[in-house]
Amino acid sequence: MSVGTERETWVGQAVLRLEDEALLRGEGRFIDDLDPVPNAYHAAILRSPFAHARIRSIDASAALELPGVVGVLTGAEVAAMSHPFPVGVENAPASYCCASELTRYYGEPVALAVARDRYVAEDAVELISVDWEPLAAVVDAVTAAETDALVSDRSFSYGDVDTAFASADVVVADRFRFPRWSCNPLECYGVVADWTGDSLTAWANFQGPFTLHSVAAAALGLPGSKLRLITPPDSGGSFGTKAAVYTYVVLMALASKKLGVPVRWTEDRLEHLAAAGSATARVTDLAAAFAADGELLALRYDVIEDVGAYVRAPEPATLYRMHGSLSGAYRVRNVAVRNRVVVTNRPPTSLNRGFGGPQMYFALERTMEIAAGRLGIDPAELRRRNLVRDFPHRTPSGGLYDSGDYEACLDDALELARYEERRAEQAAAREEGRLVGIGVACVVEPSISNMGYITLAQTSDERTAQLPKSGNAEGATIAINPIGGVTVRISTTPQGQGHRTAAAQVAADALGVAPEQIDVLTDVDTSTSAWTVASGNYSSRFSGVGAGAVHKAATKLATKLRAIAAPQLGAEPDEVELRDGKAWANDESVSLRRLAGAAHWNPDSLPRGVEPGLHETAFDAAPNLEPPDADDRVASSAAHGFLADVAVVEVERDTGAVRVLEYVTVHDAGRLLNPLLVEGQVRGGFAHGAGVALFERIVHDDEGNLLTGTFMDYLCPTAPDLPPLTMGHRETPSPFTTLGSKGLGEGTTMSAPVAIANAVADALGVQALEVPLTPGRVWELLR
């Protein structure tokens, strides 16, 4: 309706966030604000103080004597009451929501106390005594890969990689390490579980994917309809990590079942820093073959992925999310990769913004920078020569890039950064002994994940034996009540991105009303919402299929409204236009409210063939997301944005402090639904990426003890620590999404770590470096 008409659309406008007034007034409704069942008791968790230990015995008798304590649940009971979580890798150790005989990471739950309040619950936890037998821990991923901690080992080759390397003029090879880092949303995990009869109702600030609803149900042995999962209207950020809250849904459910009371638990920051889902740590050996003119001929990856103590669903997805994009933004035809997944005595990993992108691009874009030096070609120019130009573009590993103008984005970025001038300034600064560096990164940002890509962890034969998995669908519902109120309900569990605003804009265009006249409900209830396995908030899928579902539902409703209005206006339905809250034809109009009133109060008046009711549900699904083929090719995502970044840094020689003087990021994410929300997403993505570039990492010592257990040692960047950011945008619509839009909230998280690292390497004239580039580390590089 909105596309192709002369009328200006709400989509594309910088509509102010409809969410903000309530949030600014402190009227948001987060998990801790909900009191969904009376008399819920509070849980506290006893966590392992060892990375690897045998639990000889647990004695909870003292805890049970404490006044106010309702009961205790131990790992042994959890093992008896539940099943291991289903997992996509065969050799992985069985994983429950709580350790029973063996604890495999520092911070792993081993028991839980439930009491009248959290204070007493924590007192009770201290009174549970455990007889531990500490065991040797494995923390290093490379070491783990040589042992039975290697749980998956798959090799893939596309094109003729060996021949390409044999014919290369220049081969660049290096090892790149990427650290574990995390999301640290303001609000940590929260769960309320109420087990009654044979069914569970759980409230949790879960973010999807709702595949994990099935995982939780399987662990609890519940048939589908018996696990009702409800998310609160507001979430205090997630950035991926709240996918992992499902293990605590299971834990609290078991406590509620055993003790016969509703149980609530709010994770505190110490728990979060110790044991919440974080990114994988990755070691990548990457070799790249080039012709003398800079043509990238082949890439050969050898990856070791540390997923922590267990392979927790959806892992090892971090490894395969980028599978269709192993060639990055380049036309290279020959790509090989060996993917090894190892378990270590560190907490299980989960989603983190960028999901595999930061790790992969750190290796690829460092390699491009190093190769530029070896080839004697400017790093930006080397990339330009290899950028994908024609669309749609099928990558060697099966990715299908939809659209974009990569070269124009790179040009924009170089212009915004005054690249040539900067190079001259850099030369002058070096004359003065100052360490100035410039780094570039070009990144293809996939969005809307193919639910089937994860099955690449299995062989083609193993996949054939199962139900194929593919696609990525999302649902939405829209309704008009008898007094003309429009309500949209979405299943994308927003965590602060502004889905409410964007969904209202999309529906407003279809119905011809203003966005603020539309109520958008964001709480998901698996018993009443329009959802599917793919639902939720990950892989930047909202602007593609989330908004697409709203558009489709609203269009269905608009079609119906036109059909109802047509006879009243003496027109055909397709002559009726919806605008300004009315249906128009032949210069006559009838208000939406009147149309709705008639539909509800006088269904007898509806034109022949029009079904009563103004309540429509629609699902949108991205095309081309087939299951992996027999040759292990997969279109791992539906849409692909592109971004070109330039970082300019100065390193203080005395202290090793890195100052980012300027950071430019230019995106082509298709049609932008709301530039204001876009800016928020890019700024946030940059902060997350700059965090790991300069500050953030999770550190365990050789015994697996946590060294970054508080915000004193786990350093998140704060606003004053972030460098200035310059943004640019191009809008090449995606032919594969309903509204032409693509995801863009993760791109700068993928690019910033390596762009900044490239700039620091350039400033120092060194090749080997690791993020975060803390002053101490940089100073060591300067020595």
Partner 1 sequence: MKPPRFEYARPESLEEAVALLAEGEDAKVLAGGQSLVPALNMRLLRPSLLVDLGRVRGLDRIEARNSSVAVGARVTQRAFAESPLVPPLAAEALPHVGHYVTRNRGTVGGSIAHADAAAELSLCLVVLGGSVVTNRRTIPAEEFFVGHFTTALEPGELVVETLWPRLDGWRFAFEEFAQRRGDYGLSLVAVALRLEDGVVAESRLGLASVTDRPTLVADAEAVESLELWGNLHASPDYLRNLTRILVARAVARAAA
Q: Which residues bind partner 1 (CB under 8 A)?
A: 118-119, 122-123, 126, 268-270, 654-657, 695, 699, 707-708, 710, 712-713, 715, 717-718, 720-721, 774-776, 779-780
Spatial contact of 188 and 272, defined as CB atoms under 8 Å apart: yes
Spatial contact of 435 and 764, defined as CB atoms under 8 Å apart: yes
Closer to partner 1 at the Cβ: 499 or 688? 688
**Residue 715: phi, psi to the nearest 5?**
-100, 105
Closer to partner 1 at the Cβ: 39 or 718? 718
Q: To the nearest whole angstrom, how small is the minimum distance from the Cβ of residue 345 to partner 1?
A: 19
Q: To the nearest whole angstrom, how small is the minimum distance from the Cβ of residue 246 to partner 1?
A: 23
Q: To the nearest whole angstrom, how small is the minimum distance from the Cβ of residue 119 to partner 1?
A: 4
Q: To the nearest whole angstrom, how small is the minimum distance from the Cβ of residue 436 to partner 1?
A: 20
Q: To the nearest whole angstrom, how small is the minimum distance from the Cβ of residue 45 to partner 1?
A: 12
The span from the CA of 46 to the CA of 121, in Å, is 10
Closer to partner 1 at the Cβ: 110 or 634? 110
DSSP classification of residue 337 = E
Q: To the nearest whole angstrom, how small is the minimum distance from the Cβ of residue 271 to partner 1?
A: 8
- HSE-CB for 280 with a 13 A CA cutoff: 32
> Which amino acid, 215?
V
Q: To the nearest whole angstrom, how small is the minimum distance from the Cβ of residue 295 to partner 1?
A: 42
Q: Is 317 helix (H, G, I), strand (E, B) or coil?
A: helix
Contacts of 368 (CB under 8 A, 6+ apart): 288, 296, 379, 382, 383, 442
The span from the CA of 717 to the CA of 687, in Å, is 7
CA separation, residue 39 to residues 256, 418, 432 (Å)? 12, 62, 70
- HSE-CB for 146 with a 13 A CA cutoff: 5
Token pair, residue 699, equals: 């550190």
3-state secondary structure labels for all residues of 25-55: CCCCCCHHHCCCCCCCEEEEEEECCCCCEEE
For residue 303, what are the β-bridge partners? 284, 339
Closer to partner 1 at the Cβ: 264 or 667? 264
Closer to partner 1 at the Cβ: 228 or 434? 434
Closer to partner 1 at the Cβ: 170 or 722? 722
Nearest CA among 736, 722, 671, 712 for reference residue 692: 722
The residue ranges of DSSP E strands in 32-181, in sequence order, are: 41-47, 53-59, 69-74, 102-103, 109-115, 129-134, 150-158, 170-178
Q: To the nearest whole angstrom, how small is the minimum distance from the Cβ of residue 432 to partner 1?
A: 19
Q: Is the dihedral of CA 220, 224, 228, 229 positive or negative?
A: positive
The span from the CA of 110 to the CA of 370, in Å, is 47
Closer to partner 1 at the Cβ: 124 or 677? 124
3-state secondary structure labels for all residues of 228-294: EEECCCCCCCCCCHHHHHHHHHHHHHHHHHHHCCCEEEECCHHHHHHHCCCCCEEEEEEEEEECCCC
Q: To the nearest whole angstrom, how small is the minimum distance from the Cβ of residue 749 to partner 1?
A: 19
Q: To the nearest whole angstrom, how small is the minimum distance from the Cβ of residue 123 to partner 1?
A: 6
Concatenated DSSP letters of 81-96: HS-PPP-S-TTSPP--
Closer to partner 1 at the Cβ: 37 or 699? 699
Q: To the nearest whole angstrom, how small is the minimum distance from the Cβ of residue 689 to partner 1?
A: 16
> Which amino acid, 391?
F
The span from the CA of 428 to the CA of 409, in Å, is 28
**Distance from the Cα of residue 170 to its chain's centroid:** 36
User: Which helix (H) or strand (E) is 379 found in, with range?
Assistant: helix 379-386
The span from the CA of 329 to the CA of 332, in Å, is 9
Closer to partner 1 at the Cβ: 90 or 701? 701
β 435-449/637-651 pair status: antiparallel
Closer to partner 1 at the Cβ: 44 or 81? 44
Closer to partner 1 at the Cβ: 273 or 488? 273
Closer to partner 1 at the Cβ: 577 or 696? 696
Closer to partner 1 at the Cβ: 252 or 666? 252
Q: To the nearest whole angstrom, how small is the minimum distance from the Cβ of residue 22 to partner 1?
A: 24
Q: To the nearest whole angstrom, how small is the minimum distance from the Cβ of residue 711 to partner 1?
A: 9
User: Residue 570 CB: number of other CB atoms within 10 A?
Assistant: 10
The span from the CA of 496 to the CA of 487, in Å, is 20
Closer to partner 1 at the Cβ: 135 or 715? 715
For residue 401, what are the β-bridge partners? 393
Spatial contact of 358 and 749, defined as CB atoms under 8 Å apart: yes
Q: To the nearest whole angstrom, how small is the minimum distance from the Cβ of residue 654 to partner 1?
A: 5
Q: To the nearest whole angstrom, how small is the minimum distance from the Cβ of residue 779 to partner 1?
A: 5
Contacts of 197 (CB under 8 A, 6+ apart): none
**Residue 501: phi, psi to the nearest 5?**
-65, -50
Closer to partner 1 at the Cβ: 270 or 676? 270
User: Residue 678 CB: number of other CB atoms within 10 A?
Assistant: 22
Q: To the nearest whole angstrom, how small is the minimum distance from the Cβ of residue 709 to partner 1?
A: 9
Q: To the nearest whole angstrom, how small is the minimum distance from the Cβ of residue 666 to partner 1?
A: 28
> Which amino acid, 558?
A
Token pair, residue 748, equals: 């700068």
Closer to partner 1 at the Cβ: 158 or 189? 189
Counting every residue written for the chain, the total comes to 783
Q: To the nearest whole angstrom, how small is the minimum distance from the Cβ of residue 228 to partner 1?
A: 30
Closer to partner 1 at the Cβ: 1 or 274? 274
The span from the CA of 151 to the CA of 156, in Å, is 17
Closer to partner 1 at the Cβ: 485 or 775? 775
The span from the CA of 116 to the CA of 279, in Å, is 35
User: Residue 407 CB: number of other CB atoms within 10 A?
Assistant: 17
